[in-house]
Amino acid sequence: MDHQVAYKNFIAGEWVESASGQTFQNINPADSNDRIGEFQRSDARDVAKAVAAAREAYPAWRLMPPPKRAEVLFQTANLLIERKEDFARDMTREMGKPVEEARGDVQEAIDMTFYMAGEGRRLFGQTTTSELPSKFCMSVRSPVGVCALVTPWNFPMAIPAWKLMPALICGNTVVIKPAEDTPLSAYNLVATLEEAGAPRGVVNCVSGLGPEAGAPLVCHPDVRAVSFTGSVEVGREVAKACAPSFKHLCLEMGGKNIIIVMDDANLELALEGALWGGFGTTGQRCTASSRIAIHKNVYENFAQRFTDRARSLKVGNGLEPGVQVGPLISEAQLKTVEQYVQIGRQEGAKLLCGGHRLTGGEHARGWFYAPTVFGDCAPGMRICQEEIFGPVVSLIPCDSLEQAIEIGNGIVYGLSSAIYTQNINQAFKAMQEMETGIFYVNAPTIGAETHLPFGGTKQTGNGHREAGTAALDFFSEWKSIYIDYSDRLQRAQIDS
């Protein structure tokens, strides 16, 4: 793709430049010389146009029968299948993850789109009895209105699809602001929706920086719901912005996820899972397995083998064959990782491998960091408490399942957790006691499926869930309907 390509905003069914005429560069994190394209640096004026377009399109889209809305989604999913390889390679260029993972990201968008299209014939409510005679009761879903979707860079097509597809099938219109680091994947998704027949103004996309485009979108008075995925710090600001007008708000934020490895675990399986959970997507997942609590009876064995494997992971450009770990998304993220590694050393954690930037040769023009393992960590260390969002894994020895559960729960987050054990009693005890929204047995903390609720407890979110039918509960309002055919006044709770 020519590096001079200028990508535009999508507003009211047209591809348009930003009001200011300003743009920003989309840069390959594996090769800073690779300029992927110019994207619009939008501001409040562009946001206002996009929201107005969504508001204008809302009445007709809301009244379109959901199975007809679903036809747009089915067609979108089929087009995504045709373009999966091209979109995956675009994603690796702008985000860095190995192309095999990028294919999985596009596949997740395909899965979510098909799933939500199916819900077009299943937006079920309840029919129920009445406490009064000659009276019928039911509940139906109604759309919310204009929805603002603010998405992150680590899953630049999957997470936009998680938000777009349930919002659309419920009858809402949307304005999406993709992460400035990865706008092309969202652009590809929106262009596919347009080609599949999304009516003018139903889907709008404005690219830009958070403070300049994201903030005015979240604050816009005509936006009735905001779905945000990102950091706790920004999520807190989004919550404050939504509070005065009581906008619906779904927050999906950080995680500091743990794998518990018991002394009866299949160690080979646990090693494979911890390696994939810790270093898949270069550790840049909210569900990354960044802590491993290992029973003391197998700690030394596990730590040695895990470190050896982490050291041998192939780091490089995700488009190259055999690469297992790509770059970090940006220079800023690389500096964050460097700071946390320094903190870990100062705290007395034992650096078992990595701990340095990779430079020279194939790594010369990218933001690469060696897969890093800290051993003999104490649960209260900052590297075991705070989300690093990089290829850094902390190993924590423990004496028992009870202690491992206590370590696992001893953080401000509650997204995902896992246990490796052959003991069904221990598996069920951990399943019950872990304070996380997602739990795995004999699998790492990553790998959620689109038909189950996704989200977490505590400071990971605000109680909503994405994916599955749970997403419909955020993107729709319940309306309870009572039909009295008695031909007389009946007073609920009063007439007998």
The answer on pLDDT for 1 being more than 60 is: no
The answer on pLDDT for 313 being more than 60 is: yes
The answer on pLDDT for 3 being more than 90 is: no
Distance CA 326, CA 319 (A): 9
Mean pLDDT score across all residues of the chain: 97
Mean pLDDT over 351-377 rounds to: 98
SS3 83: coil
Report CA dihedral (363, 315, 25, 112) to the nearest 10 degrees.
170
239-251 residue pLDDT tens: 999 999 999 999 9
Percentage of the residues of the chain whose pLDDT score is greater than 70: 99
The answer on pLDDT for 2 being more than 80 is: no
- The residues, any chain, with a CB within 8 Å of residue 30's CB and separated by 6 or more, are 93, 96, 316, 317, 318, 319, 326, 327, 365, 366, 368
Read off φ and ψ for residue 47, nearest 5 degrees. Answer: -60, -45
401: amino acid identity, one letter: L
Mean pLDDT over 372-401 rounds to: 98
Q: Specify the DSSP class assigned to residue 109.
A: H
Q: Tokens 């370590």 appear where?
A: 407
The answer on pLDDT for 29 being more than 70 is: yes
In the chain, what is the straight-line distance between the N-terminal and C-terminal CA atoms, in Å? Answer: 74
How confident is the model at residue 4, as a pLDDT? Answer: 67
Question: Could you give the domains of the chain?
Answer: 9-253+461-480 (3.40.605.10), 258-441 (3.40.309.10)
- Strands 173-177 and 203-205 turn out to be parallel
How confident is the model at residue 496, as a pLDDT? Answer: 65
Q: Tokens 């979510």 appear where?
A: 112
How confident is the model at residue 494, as a pLDDT? Answer: 87
Percentage of the residues of the chain whose pLDDT score is greater than 90: 98
Read off φ and ψ for residue 151, nearest 5 degrees. Answer: -120, 155
Mean pLDDT over 359-370 rounds to: 97
466: amino acid identity, one letter: E
List residues with catalytic annotation: 252, 286
